[in-house]
Amino acid sequence: MISSDRYQNMAYGKCGSSGLYLSKFAIGLWNSFGGTSSYEKGREILLTAFNEGITHIDGANNYGPPPGTAEEFLGKILKQDLKGYRDELIITTKAGYEMWSGPYGNWGSRKSLMASLDQSLKRMNLDYVDIFYHHRRDVNTPLEETMDALADLVRQGKTLYVGVSNYAPRELEAASEILEKKGIHLLIHQFRYNMLSQEPENGLFEAMNKKGIGSIAFCPLEQGLLTEKYLDGIPLSSRAKDENSWYFHEEDITKRRIEKIRLLSGLARERGQNLAQMALAWNLREGGVDSVILGASRKEQILENVKSLQNASFSGEELLRIEQILGDE
C-alpha cells in the first residue's frame, strides 16, 4: 500500500541550475533487482523507498543480472503498484556499457544510444524516461555525435533530460558546451564518490558548478566498507569475495582502512548515528552532491539510510576530524 504521508521523511533539492527537484536519495537498480533476485523482495524494497519519499529510481540498460532484467522488473512494479504515480517519479536509464553482442550494443554511437533507449522503454513499458544518461565516455566516437544523439532524444520526447556518467572534468565541460549550442542543458553527472573515494574533488565539482550541472553519487558506502560489517572480518556473503565485483575487492580491505573505519564509527556514535548514516550525510553535506544512490538488499536498509537526514549537517570540527582520520585515503 502506498502511504499518503510519504514525503514527510525525505528532503528535496534542485538539480544543479535546473528547476528539477530530486529526492536526496535515489534507489538504484544495480545488482539487487533482476532475473537472479527475488521479485517479492525487490518489490518490497522499491515500495518501501517510495513510501519514504524516494521518488528517483536509477536504472540502466544492462542492470540485472542478466542485463535488461532490472528494467523488466521495474516495468512490472510500475504496472502492478505504481501505475497511478508516474508523474511523481523520476525514472532514469543509461546506455554505454555492453548490452548485447556485436558493434552496436555498447559505447556511445548514435546508433547504439537510440537503439538502447528504444529497448529500455519497451522493457519498462514507458513512453519516456525522465533522465537518459550516456554511461561512460567513448573515445572512439566523436563527442559531438554522442551529444547530438542525446539532444535528438530530448526533441523526440523519449527523455525529458539528459545526463552523463563517469566523465572527466574536461570531457564534462565539452559535453555541456556542445549541448548548450543545441539548446539542451546537460542536467546531471553521475559518479563514484564517498569518504574513501574523493577523486571527484580534483576538478570535477568545479566543472559541474561552472556549468550548472547537477551531481549524483553512486557507491556512497563503498560497497558496504563504510558500515560496521567489516570490523570483525570479511563476511562470506560480501561482494569483496566476488571476483566479478567491479569496484570492490578483498585486497581493498586493509588493516589500515579498518582502523580508519573504527575511528569514523566512533565519531558517528558521538553524532547519534551509525557509520552508514554518517557516511551518507557526509555525501550530502554542504559542498557535497545533490543526491545519492542507495543500493539495498532488504527494506530495513532503506529505512535506516533515510534516517541519516535527521542529522545531515556537520560542524567544522567534525569535518576536520573526518579529514584527519582519512589522512591520505
pLDDT bracket for residue 253 (50, 70, 90): confident
pLDDT of residue 32: 82
Q: Is residue 252's pLDDT more than 60?
A: yes
Give the Cβ contact number of residue 199 at 10 Å. 10
Amino acid at site 135: H
Query: Contacts for 281-286 with beta carbons within 8 Å, 24 or more apart?
Result: 281/308, 281/309, 281/311, 281/312, 281/313, 281/314, 282/194, 282/195, 282/314, 282/322, 283/193, 283/194, 283/217, 283/220, 284/24, 284/308, 284/309, 284/312, 285/312, 285/313, 285/314, 285/319, 286/313
% of the chain beyond a pLDDT of 70: 94
List Cα–Cα distances, 82 to 75, 76, 130, in angstroms. 10, 9, 16
Res 63 pLDDT > 70: yes
Phi, psi of 95 (to 5 degrees): -150, 145
108 pLDDT more than 60: yes
pLDDT digits (tens, 9 = 90+) for 189-216: 999 999 999 999 999 999 999 999 999 9
Q: Is the pLDDT of residue 133 over 80?
A: yes
| Residue 275, C-beta contacts closer than 8 angstroms, at least 6 positions apart | 226, 227, 228, 261, 264, 265, 268
Q: Flag the least confident range among 58-62, 99-103, 249-253, 271-275.
A: 249-253
Q: Is 257 or 316 the better-scoring residue by pLDDT?
A: 316
Percentage, residues of the chain above pLDDT 90: 86
Which residue has better confidence, 257 or 140?
A: 140
**pLDDT the model gives residue 131:** 99
Question: How does residue 138 score in pLDDT terms, banded at 50, 70 and 90?
Answer: very high
Per-residue pLDDT, 1: 82
Residue of higher predicted confidence among 92 and 240: 92
Mean pLDDT (the chain) is 93
Please say if the pLDDT value at position 231 is more than 90.
no
- What confidence score (pLDDT) does residue 233 get? 62
What is the distance, to the nearest Å, from the Cα of residue 279 to the centroid of all Cα atoms in its chain? 15
- The answer on pLDDT for 243 being more than 70 is no
Reply yes or no on whether the pLDDT at 227 is more than 60: yes
Would you give the end-to-end CA distance of the chain in angstroms? Answer: 44
Domain range list for the chain: 12-224+287-312
Nearest-angstrom CA–CA distance, 170 and 143: 12
pLDDT reading at 242 higher than 80: no
For 23-41, write each residue's pLDDT tens digit.
Answer: 999 999 998 898 888 999 9
pLDDT value at 248 more than 60 = no
pLDDT at residue 229, rounded to an integer: 85
Residue 53 has pLDDT above 90, yes or no: yes
At the top level of CATH, which class does the domain 12-224+287-312 belong to?
Answer: alpha beta
